[in-house]
């Protein structure tokens, strides 16, 4: 919870605005020794006696953004005794005893069933009760009060503690590893992958069957090691997503808008180094959606929309990549306004009629803004430029879908990791080249007798005229001997978003 920028005390303060917090008891049995203490980890367990008329569903919504990484029990006083076993299922015996003691003090358990008989319970008197009278001095040594541990515990506690001891033995053990050591290991595995691919290439050229089979077996083991090691770097993208409820709440309050944030796919995993660098790009997109995307309440109601706007953060895996979507149900991008501004700045010609995808990409240009006035949130034309540069540094790209009056979706596509990048192996003449697999969009096989027009070769693919690049000419290699079975056309996208076709002789081997 603390790691995601959330403070448990803020939830308690908010609850006090919806009802009355009668009693609070903090249980610190999980607090570690000094050397194992982590400042961003919450070790406290809170037991609250709360009175309100808002209902259980509304209470669950208060804790909506911490339910996934917290244990939450909302029970009525009448049902508490029957749920004690469940509430203590993951607790150690001493913690379970403290929970039971707190519940008895709250009046949720029968006071005649255990540790409540110990006078230590009087150290936490009920609200409004008078303090115990002071005892007169008496001769002789004072008798110490009996300890709570000597009392007979509640039978449910025994059951819960027994399950805990049985379950803890089978739990996974965790160790902390310095990030630099893990990075060094992954770098070595990357070199191992390259060495294995080279050995496999030599084995195939030698045409020795046993050697080829041996190198394939080694390659399979290397792939398993690589997959397992990369998984160590994976963290849930929820680490980033759970920072935004507060951002949305504060910015929407500043602008006087009602906005509901909905998070989907927070469990999607991504390389930790990439998650850390996603914060700024996502922050700019979210702030832009709140400021420019979602209309003010009066405008939404005039257009027949609900007064409350919606903002979605969504993440999922697709074709070996991670897709992150930031969507809103606002007014959408003003295509004509963006097009006019792009023509004014010379980014597009006066007679150009580009598709929507090209028009919307103009908002990522440095200094580009259609805002009539600059605010402390946006309007300077720098935020979206930061978004594109940040995403491109992660070898990703961002697309925009927008429809007037319905909303806008920013779709960020990223590789799973930057530690090892898959390659597309091609052969040109007697040379071998590797293309980044993420840059290869399409491969098709064409006949060997395809006509050539000289320097400015091109091809008509599904009605689109694309330029050709012959690698043997480009790298001044010996001419390829054409063969209908081994000619491939690899469609790649360059940094300038142009389309190139490379004519190469070989099959594809990622």
What pLDDT sits at residue 120? 37
Cβ pair 395, 371 in contact under 8 A: no
Place of tokens 């027994």: 162
* φ and ψ at residue 83, rounded to 5 degrees: -105, 5
What pLDDT sits at residue 334? 87
What pLDDT sits at residue 91? 73
Cα separations in angstroms, 494 against 369, 416, 436, 441, 500: 26, 20, 11, 11, 8
What CATH code would you report for 236-371+380-415?
A: 3.30.565.10
Cβ pair 21, 50 in contact under 8 A: yes
What pLDDT sits at residue 449? 63
Q: Per-residue confidence of the chain (510 residues) as pLDDT tens digits?
A: 566 667 777 778 888 888 888 888 888 887 787 667 777 677 788 888 888 888 777 787 787 767 666 777 887 777 777 777 777 776 778 888 888 888 777 777 776 544 433 333 333 444 444 444 443 343 444 444 444 444 444 444 444 444 444 444 444 466 777 878 888 888 898 888 888 888 988 998 888 989 989 999 998 998 898 888 888 888 889 888 988 998 898 888 888 899 999 999 999 998 888 888 888 889 889 998 998 889 999 999 998 999 999 999 999 998 778 999 999 999 898 888 888 888 888 888 888 788 888 888 888 887 777 766 666 566 554 568 888 888 988 888 899 999 988 999 999 999 887 766 777 777 777 777 777 776 677 777 766 666 565 555 677 777 777 777 777 777 787 766 554 434 455 555 443 333 444 444 444 443
CA angle 409, 411, 416 (to 5 degrees): 155
Q: Contacts from 124-132 at CB under 8 Å and sequence distance 24+?
A: 124/25, 127/22, 127/23
What pLDDT sits at residue 425? 76
Helix axis angle for 383-393 and 279-288, nearest 10°, is: 150
Strand ranges (E), 45-134: 45-51
Q: How far, rounded to the nearest angstrom, does the alpha carbon of residue 67 sit from its chain's CA centroid?
A: 16
Cβ pair 342, 348 in contact under 8 A: yes
CA angle 381, 382, 383 (to 5 degrees): 105
What pLDDT sits at residue 329? 92
């Amino acid at each position: 919870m603390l790691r995601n920028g959330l403070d448990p005390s803020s939830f308690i303060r908010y609850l006090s605005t919806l009802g009355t917090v009668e009693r609070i008891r903090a249980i610190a049995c999980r607090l570690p020794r000094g050397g194992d203490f982590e400042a961003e980890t919450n070790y406290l367990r809170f037991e609250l006696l709360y009175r309100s008329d808002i209902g259980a569903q509304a209470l669950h919504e208060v804790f909506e953004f911490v339910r996934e990484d917290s244990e939450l029990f909302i029970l009525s006083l009448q049902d508490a005794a029957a749920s004690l076993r469940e509430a203590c299922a993951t607790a150690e015996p001493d913690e379970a005893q403290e929970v039971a003691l707190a519940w008895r003090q709250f009046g949720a358990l029968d006071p005649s069933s255990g540790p409540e008989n110990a006078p230590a319970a009087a150290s936490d008197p009920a609200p409004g009760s008078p303090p115990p009278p002071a005892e007169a001095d008496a001769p002789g040594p004072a008798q110490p009060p009996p300890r709570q541990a000597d009392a007979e515990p509640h039978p449910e506690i025994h059951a819960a503690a027994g399950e805990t001891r049985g379950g803890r033995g089978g739990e996974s053990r965790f160790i902390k590893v310095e990030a630099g050591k893990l990075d060094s290991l992954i770098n070595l595995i990357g070199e191992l992958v390259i060495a294995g691919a080279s050995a496999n290439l030599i084995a195939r050229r030698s045409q020795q069957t046993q050697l080829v089979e041996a190198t394939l077996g080694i390659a399979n083991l290397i792939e398993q090691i690589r997959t397992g090691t990369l998984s160590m770097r994976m963290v849930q993208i929820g680490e980033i997503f759970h920072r935004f409820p507060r951002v949305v709440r504060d910015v929407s309050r500043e602008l006087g808008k009602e906005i509901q944030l909905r998070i989907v796919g927070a469990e999607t995993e991504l390389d930790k180094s990439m998650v850390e660098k996603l914060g700024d790009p996502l922050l700019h997109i979210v702030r832009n959606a709140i400021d420019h995307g979602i209309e003010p309440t009066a405008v939404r109601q005039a257009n027949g929309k609900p007064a409350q706007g919606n903002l979605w953060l969504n993440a999922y895996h697709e074709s070996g990549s991670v897709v992150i979507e930031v969507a809103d149900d606002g007014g959408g991008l003003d295509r004509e306004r963006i097009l006019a501004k792009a023509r004014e700045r010379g980014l597009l010609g006066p007679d150009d009629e580009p598709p929507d995808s090209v028009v919307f990409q103009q908002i990522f240009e440095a200094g580009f803004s259609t805002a009539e006035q600059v605010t402390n949130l946006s309007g300077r034309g720098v935020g979206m430029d930061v978004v594109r540069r940040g995403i491109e540094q992660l070898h990703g790209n961002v697309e925009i879908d927008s429809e007037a009056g319905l909303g806008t979706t920013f779709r960020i596509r990223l590789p799973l990791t930057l530690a090892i990048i898959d390659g597309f192996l091609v052969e040109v003449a007697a040379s071998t080249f590797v293309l980044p697999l993420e840059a290869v969009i399409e491969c098709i096989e064409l006949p060997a007798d395809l006509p050539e027009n000289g320097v400015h070769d091109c091809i008509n693919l599904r009605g689109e005229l694309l330029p050709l690049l012959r690698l043997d000419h480009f790298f001044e290699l010996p001419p390829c001997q054409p063969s209908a079975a081994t000619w491939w056309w690899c469609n790649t996208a360059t940094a300038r978003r142009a389309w190139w076709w490379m004519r190469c002789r070989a099959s594809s081997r990622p």
